[in-house]
Amino acid sequence: MPLPLCTLSSQAHHCLRALKSVKKDCLPPLCIARWASTSSVPRITTHYTIHSRNKDKRWEGVNMERFAEEADVVIVGAGPAGLSAAIRLKQLANEYGKEVRVCLVEKAAQIGAHTLSGACLEPRALEELLPDWKERGAPLQTPVTEDKFGILTKNSRIPVPILPGLPMTNHGNYIVRLGHFVNWLGEQAEALGVEVYPGYAAAEVLFHEDGSVKGIATNDVGIQKDGAPKTNFERGLELHAKVTFFAEGCHGHLAKQLYNRYNLREKCQPQSYGIGLKELWLIDEKKWKPGRVEHTVGWPLDRNTYGGSFLYHLNEGEPLVALGFVVGLDYQNPYLSPFKEFQRWKHHPSVEPTFEGGKRIGYGARALNEGGFQSIPKLTFPGGVLIGCSPGFMNVPKIKGTHTAMKSGMLASEAVFNQLTNENLQSKTIGLDVPEYEENLKKSWVWKELYSVRNIRPSCHGVLGVYGGMIYTGIFYWILRGMEPWTLKHPRPDSDQLKPAKDCTPIEYPKPDGKISFDLLSSVALSGTNHEHDQPPHLTLKDDSVPVNKNLAIYDGPEQRFCPAGVYEYVPLETGEGLRLQINAQNCVHCKTCDIKDPSQNINWVVPEGGGGPAYNGM
């Protein structure tokens, strides 16, 4: 089916400006989508990325025109990296008196609503970007006053001193609610003239005939759950740019396509990931220690399962704490549930007293990059760049990536601005290639920092597991500061790590008590998650038969345990014989864990209609 394209018009401008009217309090309550089928292999996936509309008679005669907007730079994702890039571009444009149009699209209904992190922020990049951030009212209200670290056994806690110079040292850092910080960055960007469009999900990468990136297209809206067009169907908009910045965050779905098209991962190791689960609590004021940062490793995980906890005491006028649990997605036991490990951790004798008498007010989850230096892909290609947590600049032993993500966006903007304003530039492609960005990044403190800690995460793969990594850190990092003449490798991808269920012991988790620990669906309700019910599930399957025939048969359906939102369930067939996979797509918190950990690599996460997903309040 041909897809004619309309040129720039007042209607396109109107469509974009209309996004400004999205209200912060208009998200409907959570509800759970159910899908049933009676076919021998129940049909689960109806999304057009799997079932082409060109072959679907229901789409015959539907107007498939898309309007187009032209910009100098389009940025996908309003996280710390994308917003820092936008701010830096406009700073340079204003400094040199140049007109540079910057459009930024964000799939969340409001800036910061999909952002989740611990978060303990190192302000180095912020101070470079906006030196007067305090005067501007940046929401950094809790300087770190105390660092604590411990190893947990089932019934006790072994304190571990944090020596000066170790990655876990947080002197000079701030405990923040990253969603609020990102929202503030959005205000700074708009004040400089950046066009910020929340509620628009970038669904497709567009290409010029010469193979360079042309821009992106936002998602179509008005499609029924069965894949048919509704009467109010509308095509997405095309946003064209000389350079497109991809700042989607960890495991971006567009970045996945770019890795393959341009072979960007040819010379790096596989990315490794973790799943981070987080809650916000109001606690008894007598137990509140504003500025305290606590981390633990050990129980309830075994030594061969990478992970640990954090507990941060905020100082925002009420006794608020942020707590969370991270599990490396290279774990091997398919019976492991990251969510239930998190709930179990809260009952440790040294942890539970903090929450007694308190109230949980928030929940969410997000995957994070753990591959570090060895897993950084090629960052530039004709017409585009990768910035932030999309390629993965997290300093794993520090448990911090915001500062490096911001700096990557700033460096990319500086390189791109030089090309945009170079009157003598002769580009080989229509979309500009900016290799100077990657060259400058390798000369920056980001590269030096990531290189120095490159061996700490892979050192946890030895016989001593996490404890071997701690020993390695104490000896080689503390003494040599990452100057050892070797670089350790990561093992195979996380999706290849699970053992068959028959070779593993099921894990018996205690039932939640409803006071300290909770069930999954009541937790998801606190995330404010909602999607339009009548749309094709955005958790797509390449083959609908694989979940039962492989994942369930070999691994006992691990997706029903690794998902932190109850999206995947195996339920009885209507005939009463056997099971089928049910996808509750409306519960999805956009963490990307399923796309990463699925042992069949059959799940492909794509964007739902813009504005759908969690509605985090300062997570």
Q: Where are the domains of the chain?
A: 65-139+176-270+374-453
pLDDT value at 21 more than 60: no
Of 1-15, 32-46, 132-146, 431-445, the one with minimum mean pLDDT is 1-15
Active-site pick, 296, 380, 402, 517: 402
Using DSSP's 3-state secondary structure scheme, residue 193 falls into coil
Catalytic-residue membership of 522: no
8 A C-beta contact, residue 63 and residue 371? no
Catalytic-residue membership of 460: no
Active-site pick, 15, 250, 460, 588: 588
Interval 506-527 mean pLDDT? 97
The neighbouring-strand residues paired with 197 are: 105
| Model confidence band, residue 357 (pLDDT cutoffs 50, 70, 90) | very high
8 A C-beta contact, residue 196 and residue 186? yes
Close Cβ partners of 585 (under 8 Å, ≥ 6 residues apart): 33, 531, 537, 538, 539, 567, 608
Catalytic-residue membership of 427: no
Catalytic-residue membership of 588: yes
Residue 473 to residue 471: CA distance in whole angstroms? 5
Close Cβ partners of 222 (under 8 Å, ≥ 6 residues apart): 229, 230, 231, 232, 233, 234
Interval 416-433 mean pLDDT? 94
pLDDT value at 350 more than 50: yes
- pLDDT of 40 reads 64
Interval 405-427 mean pLDDT? 96
Close Cβ partners of 362 (under 8 Å, ≥ 6 residues apart): 278, 279, 280, 526, 527, 616, 617, 618, 619
Encode pLDDT of 94-122 as tens digits: 999 999 999 999 999 999 999 999 999 99
Which residue shows structure tokens 């960052």?
379
Cite the beta strand spans of 406-449 per DSSP E: none
Of 119-133, 285-299, 475-489, 534-548, the one with minimum mean pLDDT is 475-489
- pLDDT of 16 reads 55
* CB-facing half-sphere around the CA of 591: CA atoms within 13 A: 33
- pLDDT of 35 reads 33
8 A C-beta contact, residue 527 and residue 614? yes
Nearest alpha carbon to residue 338 among 272, 274, 396: 274
Nearest alpha carbon to residue 338 among 559, 556, 170, 15: 559
By DSSP bridging, strand 195-198 and strand 102-106 are parallel
Q: What kind of fold does domain 65-139+176-270+374-453 have according to CATH?
A: FAD/NAD(P)-binding domain (3.50.50)
The neighbouring-strand residues paired with 530 are: 613
- pLDDT of 12 reads 45
- pLDDT of 32 reads 29
Catalytic-residue membership of 366: yes
8 A C-beta contact, residue 122 and residue 167? no
Catalytic-residue membership of 591: yes
Tokens of 33: 């989508």
Residue 375 to residue 358: CA distance in whole angstroms? 41
* CB-facing half-sphere around the CA of 388: CA atoms within 13 A: 27
Residue 541 to residue 534: CA distance in whole angstroms? 18
pLDDT value at 577 more than 50: yes
First to last CA, the chain: 43
| Mean per-residue pLDDT over the chain, rounded | 92
Residues of the chain with pLDDT > 90: what percent? 86
Burial label, 317 (beta-carbon count in 10 A; 0-12, 13-18, 19+): exposed
User: Which amino acid does the sequence have at 504?
Assistant: C
**Helix and strand numbers, DSSP H then E, in the chain:** 17, 24
Active-site pick, 15, 268, 389, 591: 591
- pLDDT of 474 reads 79
8 A C-beta contact, residue 259 and residue 90? no
Encode pLDDT of 325-340 as tens digits: 999 999 999 999 999 9
pLDDT value at 479 more than 90: no
8 A C-beta contact, residue 179 and residue 112? yes
Catalytic-residue membership of 177: no
Active-site pick, 15, 250, 389, 594: 594
- pLDDT of 480 reads 80
**pTM for the structure as a whole:** 0.93
Q: Find how far residue 394's CA is from the centre of its chain.
A: 12
Tokens of 565: 């939102």
Encode pLDDT of 485-501 as tens digits: 999 999 999 999 999 99
pLDDT value at 11 more than 90: no
Residues of the chain with pLDDT > 70: what percent? 94
Encode pLDDT of 42-73 as tens digits: 789 999 999 999 999 999 999 999 999 999 99
Active-site pick, 88, 235, 292, 366: 366
Encode pLDDT of 26-45 as tens digits: 333 333 232 333 346 778 99
Active-site pick, 46, 84, 117, 380: 117
- pLDDT of 24 reads 35
- pLDDT of 10 reads 44
8 A C-beta contact, residue 321 and residue 313? yes
User: Which amino acid does the sequence have at 240?
Assistant: H
8 A C-beta contact, residue 384 and residue 216? no
Interval 117-145 mean pLDDT? 97
Active-site pick, 177, 563, 580, 593: 563
Tokens of 17: 């400006």
Of 148-152, 159-163, 215-219, 375-379, the one with minimum mean pLDDT is 159-163
Residue 125 to residue 161: CA distance in whole angstroms? 28
pLDDT value at 3 more than 50: no
- pLDDT of 574 reads 87
pLDDT value at 553 more than 90: yes
